Each structure stands twice: as structure tokens, then as C-alpha cells.
Amino acid sequence: MSLDTVLGSIFTVAFIATIIRISTPLILPALGGLISELAGVINIALEGLMLVAAFLGVVVGAYSAQWFPGWPGWVYPWLGALAGILVSLVLAWLLAFVHLELGADIILAALAINILAQGGTVFVMFALTGDKGSTSTLASPALPNIVIPFVNRIPVLGVLFNAENMTGYNIMTYAALVLTVLVWFVLYRMPFGAHLRAVGENPEAAASVGINVRRVQYTAILLSGLLAALGGLNLSMGYLTIFQANMTAGRGFIALAAVYLGNRNPIGTVIAAVIFGAATALGAQMGTLNVPPQYIEMIPPFVTIAALVIYNLRRQAQLAANARKFQDKLEQEHGAG
């Protein structure tokens, strides 16, 4: 395939649909990472929490058809989703507990949770299916897609709002959209959000005005577990309808990078997650070119590192500018006095 065809396929609405689909499982955990980061308890375990939720969603979704044979079919995927969310919350609580009550380093404890998720999912998958690679033997259900009515007849909007085959986006894509607004609202328009940010800025000061620091941090970690779980469920019950060993493939960490690149606010974080999604989608498109795939695989990590550097350089420049302003102000006052 020539470069022209690739370029042609990039500047299409279908490509935007691809970016939206790839970005969803980045946006959700990124919002979770943002909440925990702002509360001063950075959650490195997003990756593992996504993985266990993805796994349990598939397994419980598949088995609930055997456990509750009489129930309507649409219930099963939701039972799976519920199980996935619950197990992610349990592990997030464990992380919060060992960090806040037992004094464990939150980074090391989170790395342990990731290892537990990676080993535990394969361990249980083998015990259940005899397969260490994927749950291909289980008939696992998908969470529904949402189709926007009427727009399908309009050429461009049809693809934009309902993806290439007019089958709609997964419900988690819409959840990501709603949650972005909700997270922004909670963080900047509700007392809890103010408390949370205060705790992250300066826990002693927050405690001195009567904020229960520990409870806020527990809540923040649990919320990040919830959001990571939704991202994991999107991977195994929407994007694909199967669980594969280690299928998160670093998304939890890219989500963390999105938090930094997005300047630690919800809108920026989501934009950053979409940029990472676009880089991945671009890589997939370029796969059709006669370029060794290794070059393409390097694009997302390279973009991530570049983003990390840009964020920090900007931050340093900001700090320097603030310091200069302060200095000027001092001199002015001095001169006037």
C-alpha cells in the first residue's frame, strides 16, 4: 500500500471513529489516575486493576449464563461488569489499606498489585479453562453498544456518531464522556473535590482545617479503582469480547503519563489520552505500509516520553516565571517604599 492510501485513510471520519475506540480504555483509567494523583496518592496499580476487572468481567459474564439459566440474556454481561468492578475495588482497597494503615510504600505496594493481577489472572484462567493464553473456550458476552438514532442517514455524521458500520460505540465510550464531565464537576464544583485537592496539595494544612485526610485518600484510591475497572471492562467486553493474558499491555501506565501531559486536570488528561490513542491508531494504519513493524511499535512509547518531557519543561518554565514575577513585585514594593 502506498503512502497516499495511508494518508487518505487517516483523513477520514472512519479514522476518527478508530481513535475514539482506541482512546476509551485510556481515558477511563487516566481519569482514575488523575483523581488519585490529585489526592496525593498516585496509583501505579491502574494496570493491574484494569487487568483483573477485564478478566473477571469475561469469566463471570460467561459463567453466569450457567449459574442463572433462566435470566434474560442482557443481564449476564452486566453481572460480569459488576464482578469486575468489585474485584478491582477490593484490590484498590487493599492498596489503600496497606499504604494508609500499614505504612507500605504506595509505589511498591502498587507494583505488587500489578504482579498479583498478572499472575493471578493467568493462574485462575488456567485452572478454569486449561489455557494460559486466552479465554477463547468461554463464550463471553459483550457490553452493549449505543446507536444514536437518525444520524445514520447523514453521510459523515453517521460514521462519526455510530462508527464505521453504524453499529455504534460501546457503552463505555459514552461512560468515558459522561465521567469526564462528572469528574471535572466533582473536582472543581463540589466540596469533596476541593477537599481532595487540598489533601493532595498539603495534607497537614488540610488536616488542620478539619478534613479527614485518610478518608479522602481512601475514597480517591477506590474511585481510581472504579475508573480503572471500567477501562478494563471496555477492553475485554467491548473492544474485544475475550480475555487475553496481559491484555492491558501497558495502558495503565500510558494513562498515568496522560495525567501528567494533561497538566493534572480532567480536560487536559482526556485530550492527552486521545493523543496517545491517535498515536496508536496512526501506528496501526502505518502497519499497512512497507515499514518494519518495530518502528511503528516505537511510536506510542516515544510519544509518551516526549509528552512527559514537554509537561515537565513547561512546568519548570511556569515555576520560573512565577518566581520572577514575585521577585519583580518585591523590588517594586522596595522601590516604592
| Binding test (CB under 8 A) with another protein, winner from 74, 101, 137, 181 | 101
| 201 belongs to the binding site for another protein (CB under 8 A) | no
What's the chain's Rg over C-alpha atoms? 22
Yes or no: say if 289 and 47 are a contact pair by the CB < 8 Å rule: no
User: Which contiguous run of DSSP H or E holds residue 100?
Assistant: helix 75-100
| 107 belongs to the binding site for another protein (CB under 8 A) | yes
| Binding test (CB under 8 A) with another protein, winner from 5, 7, 12, 105 | 105
| Binding test (CB under 8 A) with another protein, winner from 156, 305, 317, 330 | 305
| 317 belongs to the binding site for another protein (CB under 8 A) | no
The residue (of 112 and 147) whose beta carbon lies closer to another protein is 112
| Binding test (CB under 8 A) with another protein, winner from 90, 120, 146, 164 | 120
3-class DSSP state of 37: helix
Residues listed for the chain: 337
User: Distance (Å, rounded) from C-alpha 196 to C-alpha 269?
Assistant: 17
Termini Cα distance of the chain: 73
Contact stretch for another protein (CB under 8 A) within 65-73, 110-118, 276-284, 321-329: 110-118
User: Of 136, 166, 125, 173, which is closest to residue 148 (Cα–Cα)?
Assistant: 166
Q: What is the dihedral of CA 329, 332, 333, 337, to 10 degrees?
A: 170
CA atoms within 13 A on the CB side of 337: 6
| 328 belongs to the binding site for another protein (CB under 8 A) | no
| Binding test (CB under 8 A) with another protein, winner from 316, 322, 327, 332 | 316
| 297 belongs to the binding site for another protein (CB under 8 A) | yes
| 313 belongs to the binding site for another protein (CB under 8 A) | yes
Contact stretch for another protein (CB under 8 A) within 13-21, 71-79, 203-211, 300-308: 300-308
Cβ neighbors of 232 (< 8 A, separation 6 or more) are: 25, 29, 49, 50, 51, 52, 53, 54, 55, 57, 84, 88, 248
Q: How far is the CB of 312 from another protein (least distance, A)?
A: 5
| 309 belongs to the binding site for another protein (CB under 8 A) | yes
What residues line the site for another protein (CB under 8 A)? 44, 94, 98, 101-105, 107-109, 111-113, 115-116, 118-120, 122-124, 126-127, 132, 250, 253, 256-257, 260, 292, 294-295, 297-298, 300-302, 304-305, 308-309, 312-313, 315-316
